[in-house]
């Protein structure tokens, strides 16, 4: 894993960011990111923040008002209901009102257990909150990280997402959580594409058991496209 991290660092640098300290905001942002791109997610998020004074106001608002605010982010009916039910659930269960800062005082497994007990919150969303907002040791495994990691042999083929999260955390050197997440994601977007990975130009090819195994399929797809 250290060799992989170092190789990715040569290509993409070593991304570093301080945790931002706003776990409720991260939770809502991650819900808004589902099935859309970063731009639409951000438009929806800032419309929501403009429309309501604070998270308590979002929690108390009728769902259709939340839905209207976040419409540019897509599937707004589902997301608005989810956001409201999460904010209500946090208020009911945290023992600290509508706040999640207290998670920083808990162990990572305790914090994961609490977050995944919230409605519609899975391991990826929990990992985003713990890593990006609170600087805790967790690694979000999204669609890019899961695809690249599976091709690199980090994960069992067709492993469920919870298993990939456990495996990723076990493999990641302490302190490299953000860097590995960011750089595997970048590699998935730029080189190790879902349909046509560019193995010929890939800096990881020599350490990747899947290198060049897609080329026949890629040629066949290209041939079919030319007919």
Least separation in angstroms between residue 59's CB and ligand SF4 is 43
Least separation in angstroms between residue 183's CB and ligand SF4 is 12
Taking the least distance from each CB to ligand SF4, the nearer of 127 and 192 is 192
For the chain, how are helix, strand and coil distributed in percent, rounded to 5?
65, 0, 35
Distance (Å, rounded) from C-alpha 204 to C-alpha 187?
10
Question: Is the separation of the CB atoms in 91 and 99 below 8 Å?
Answer: no
Taking the least distance from each CB to ligand SF4, the nearer of 100 and 152 is 152
Half-sphere exposure of 180 (CA within 13 A, CB side): 26
Taking the least distance from each CB to ligand SF4, the nearer of 151 and 165 is 151
Least separation in angstroms between residue 186's CB and ligand SF4 is 12
Distance (Å, rounded) from C-alpha 98 to C-alpha 114?
14
Both structure tokens of 80 = 């608005």
Taking the least distance from each CB to ligand SF4, the nearer of 40 and 218 is 218
Site residues (vs ligand SF4, CB under 6 A): 148, 151-152, 191-192, 197-199, 202, 204-205, 208, 210-211
Taking the least distance from each CB to ligand SF4, the nearer of 73 and 197 is 197
Distance (Å, rounded) from C-alpha 5 to C-alpha 13?
10
Least separation in angstroms between residue 167's CB and ligand SF4 is 17
Nearest partner of 130 among 2, 14, 30, judged by Cα: 30
Least separation in angstroms between residue 60's CB and ligand SF4 is 47
């Amino acid at each position: 894993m250290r060799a992989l991290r170092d190789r990715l660092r040569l290509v993409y640098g070593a991304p570093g960011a301080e945790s931002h300290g706003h776990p409720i905001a991260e939770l809502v942002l991650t819900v808004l990111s589902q099935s859309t791109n970063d731009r639409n997610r951000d438009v929806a998020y800032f419309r929501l923040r403009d429309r309501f004074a604070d998270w308590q106001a979002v929690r108390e608002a009728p769902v259709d008002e939340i839905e209207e605010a976040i419409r540019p982010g897509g599937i707004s009916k589902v997301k608005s209901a989810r956001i409201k039910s999460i904010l209500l659930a946090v208020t009911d269960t945290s023992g600290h009102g509508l706040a999640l800062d207290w998670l920083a005082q808990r162990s990572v497994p305790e914090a994961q257990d609490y977050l995944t007990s919230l409605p519609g919150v899975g391991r990826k969303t929990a990992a985003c909150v713990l890593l990006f907002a609170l600087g805790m040791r967790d690694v979000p495994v999204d669609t890019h990280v899961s695809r690249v990691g599976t091709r690199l042999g980090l994960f069992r083929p067709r492993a469920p997402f919870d298993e990939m999260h456990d495996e990723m955390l076990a493999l990641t050197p302490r302190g490299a959580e953000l860097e590995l997440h960011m750089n595997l994601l970048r590699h998935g977007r730029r080189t190790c594409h879902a349909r046509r990975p560019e193995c010929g130009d890939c800096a990881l090819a020599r350490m990747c058991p899947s290198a060049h195994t897609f080329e026949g399929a890629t040629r066949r797809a290209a041939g079919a496209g030319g007919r």
